[in-house]
Amino acid sequence: MRPFKRQTVASVALLAALTLTLGACGADNPDDGGSTAASTSVSVFTGQVGDFTAPNFNPFNTTGSFLQPTQGVIYEALFYYNIARADDPRPVLGTAFEWNQDGTVLTVEVRQGVKFSDGSPMTVDDVVFSLDLVSGNQALNTSGQVWQTAKVDDQTVSLTFPKPAFTLEAQILGREPIVPQSIWRDIADPTAGTNDSPVGTGPYMFSEYTPQAIILQKNPNYWGSGAEAPAIEYVRYISLANADAATTALQQGVTDWQGSFLPTLKDLIAESNGTLSYSNTPQATTGLFTCSNAALGCTGPQTDPAVRQAMYYAMDRSQLNTQAAAGFSLPASPTLLPNFINQAEIIDPAHQEVPQTADLPRAKSILEQAGWTMGPEGYYVKDGQTLEMTLNDVSGWTDYNTMCELIAGQFKAAGIKLTVNHVAQNQWSQAEVSGNFQLSMNSVNMGASSNPYYAYNLYVNGVGTRPVGEAAVTTNTLRYQNPAVDAAVATLASTNDLEEMRAQYAIIQDALAADLPIIPIYVNSALCEYNLTHATGWPSQDNLYAFPLPWGGNWGTGIVLRTIRPV
């Protein structure tokens, strides 16, 4: 999923209040009026438009409603997998791991001397409990493989799989939170509830909640020392009223770190006298998500593959990049993989890049061959029904808002009527999860690592979807089901043979290019902005030591927050 954006008129008072709050932050209490505020507090804007709805810190929540600092900041995994560059897995709660030759046993060395934020020791037993909790819960374990975790000794665990499971490595080691068994063993359904008093091993712990701000404080029991120990006392995650306020907040030092699309970013940097910097790490393919499967209850013309193909060719993506993305985005691939990262895994050269300009004759020909005829109002008609659809996007995500309006105009030229529905972020997310939408503007993220398996398993594996009205188990909110794709994903989960993997990639990619359950637009920019007034050591284009986006459940945020140092 893609949280994003900003703020407005009500923003002036909010900015002033936040500025005063930040200026009063001391080393021991965020409101004690101490004199070391600038060196002890940073504020993060994840793109939360409007108030936070609840203090949800449940790391096992499957609907995406937990707050961003849950993963990587409050709770940690065994290793960190950096999708921003080609790094080896970084030890966190684990220190080393090894597979047996056939990929059925994974052995992990567990870091010693770790404590949870309440001061209790984290042991191998907590690791065994946490990993088995995921394995044994169908809502959490969408891999199709159930593993058994065992304690080898006081610093070693082993995971045994029924068949080769090499591709599950990054998900299990890099994406599964280690939680205290003493708290979670009595919870019947770990996916339910908000866990509003979280106890984790991360560099920060929960301190205070308001609808406008989530305050974290440095974990006094954190296992890291020296360069791996957090140095900033307090971290505030703040909300803004809308996207426009992000620029002002960054310039005024109200936010120190944000992941926002700012059309005038390059000018802001140039005019900042060295106080602002940014990084851009594109990896998410932005596209039109379709409720594609009529058999599972999707309704509307978008359930027809011919309509999806016509939309694919009706887009002028060059215009969309220039006018909506300020030229920061990169060409997408119909395989849903970023071709500049996964070029070798895109098997058919014809699938390397989507068309950059519209081909209206081809779009119209596809529709006409599928039985659509041009109606008197300039839109295609079939069986008495106009070719008309509704596209959801989040009000306040200015780049998406602009892009949706441009697409509506482009589709009109192809005889397709599109109504853009700007909605609140929670409404947009819930519509996708439940399947109550036709088209939705969203992005395909890479997953646990750059291995294509993760994106395909999350977004197009039919095992992880549900009928309309039921919550999708994974991010297959498309309700997409293709038996050949499902079989290929299952094969990828159990092999590390390169030729076999390429054969399965080809099956999946050919199906996606034909079925287009997601109609790709471009690989969206992944802009992060930093105000260097209060802290330094943020990721840069030359040193992407962690994937820097402060939204979307990014496990790298904990690495960033424990790395930065006060000015």
Q: What is the CA radius of gyration of the chain?
A: 24
466-513: pLDDT as tens digits: 999 999 877 899 999 999 999 999 999 888 889 999 999 999 999 999
Helix, strand, or coil (residue 418): strand
93: three-class secondary structure by DSSP: coil
Indicate if the pLDDT at residue 242 is higher than 80.
Answer: no
pLDDT tens-digit series, residues 341-375: 889 999 999 999 999 999 999 999 999 999 999 99
Using a pLDDT cut of 70, give the percent of the chain over it: 93
Domain range 9-73+202-279+527-566, CATH architecture: 3-Layer(aba) Sandwich (3.40)
How large is the average pLDDT for residues 122-142?
94
Which residues make up the CATH 3.90.76.10 domain(s) of the chain? 79-184
Say what angle helices 483-492 and 498-515 make with each other, to 10 degrees. Answer: 150
As a residue count, the chain comes to 567
Q: According to the model, what pLDDT value does residue 135 have? A: 95
**CATH among 1.10.10.10, 3.20.20.80, 3.40.50.2300, 3.90.76.10 for 79-184:** 3.90.76.10
CATH superfamily placement of domain 284-524: Dipeptide-binding Protein; Domain 3 (3.10.105.10)
pLDDT at 13 over 50: no
The answer to whether the CB of 204 falls within 8 A of the CB of 357 is no
pLDDT digits (tens, 9 = 90+) for 98-118: 999 999 999 999 999 999 999
Asked if the model's pLDDT at residue 57 lies above 80, the reply is yes
Distance set, CA 233 to CA 56, 205, 228 (Å): 22, 11, 14
Can you tell me the distance from the alpha carbon of 179 to that of 14, in angstroms, rounded to the nearest whole number?
Answer: 36
Distance set, CA 57 to CA 37, 215, 240, 349 (Å): 27, 13, 20, 43
| Res 243: pLDDT | 66
Which range, 59-73, 273-287, 353-367, 548-562, has the best average confidence (pLDDT)?
353-367
415-441 residue pLDDT tens: 999 999 999 988 999 999 999 999 999
All CATH 3.40.190.10 domain ranges of the chain, comma separated, are 9-73+202-279+527-566
- CB contact set of 399 (below 8 Å; sequence gap of 6+): 4, 261, 263, 324, 325, 326
pLDDT digit string, tens, across residues 181-220: 999 999 999 999 999 999 999 999 999 999 999 999 999 9
Rounded Cα distance, 355 and 333, in Å: 9
Q: CATH 3.10.105.10 region(s) of the chain?
A: 284-524
Helices H, strands E: what count in the chain? 16, 24
pLDDT at site 371: 97
Asked whether residue 15 carries a pLDDT value surpassing 80, the answer given is: no
Mean pLDDT to the nearest integer, 18-34: 37
